[in-house]
Amino acid sequence: MKPFPEASTREAYGKALVELGKELPDLVVLDADLSPSTMTKYFAREFPSRFFDCGLAEQNLMGIAAGLAAAGRTAFASTFASFATAKAFDQIRVNIAMPHLNVKVVATHAGISVGEDGISHQAIEDLALMGSLPGFTVIVPADAPETVQAVRAAARTAGPFYIRLARPKTPVLHPASYAFATGRAELLREGRDATIIACGLMVARALQAAEELAEEGISVKVLNMATLQPLDEKAIIQAARETGAVVTAEEHLAHGGLGSRVAQVLGQKCPVPLEMVALQDYAESGQAEELLEKCRLTPQAIAEAVKRAVSRK
């Protein structure tokens, strides 16, 4: 498989905000003193009167975003994923989710691929937290073009969103002309023996695993499940019926994320062998690729999970 070019999802987010700011005069952006990292700095330079730096006070960030949304604004609130979801969960739950306000929480530096900042900065429970909130749309883009499309969809759709972005550059899998559809899985590769359902940076690794398995005579379907809530249950059931085995891959704890959601669908509607490639515990400080390797979030681990699932058919 030829290597994909790489681009930053958070950089794509920051530039998309500027374009949306030109199109939507009611759009405002908030940050928690991290705009050079979340890339909301681009919006701040272009629209200083519509940008609010709330300082290192994530709970206030979410409360202010809720107030602006209640006043008719489309509010984008950004900080690191660990701070947005863990520190400010009560404010998100009570002030945003319960009244279904038009706040888009776009969090960067998710998962364990955040570098040497350590486990306090590694958001690996965020999908479980945000996916527990009724009415929240939860999206994990696979690359920069999908990020742009997801952000644009969020800006033009009423209601609360959580969009999870990475710190490092990730492989670009989509052309600029790609059309994202909220709540719809994307078929990236056909296959007959098993299905890999992945999200975020694990999508490129799923494709690599499928390529390697094809050389061994194992045909694998690959689905990009960018939207975790609402989940594309139809695509999951169809893939399970067609291939008879499913593997999920995510940069999140095994419980509460993509794997848990897929397991719920399969258990209720189409039981087949299921394997999950995910985190089992907190990690440690280290470089992104080293941590992903140590925690077995690799194409090789996905390929091994596929073989286990196929053997159980």
In order of 95, 180, 307, the CA distances from 73 in angstroms are 15, 24, 50
| 186-189 vs 27-31, strand pairing mode | unpaired
Give every CB contact of residue 230 below 8 A, 6+ residues apart in sequence: 137, 182, 183
Give every CB contact of residue 233 below 8 A, 6+ residues apart in sequence: 265, 269
Residues in the chain: 313
Catalytic residue (choose from 58, 250, 251, 275): 58
What distance in Å separates the CA atoms of residue 198 and residue 67, rounded to the nearest whole number?
35
For tokens 């891959």, the residue is: 249
Active site residue 146: no
Q: Which residues pair with 246 in a beta bridge?
A: 195, 274
- Token pair recorded at residue 249: 């891959």
Instruction: Enumerate the active-site residues.
Output: 58
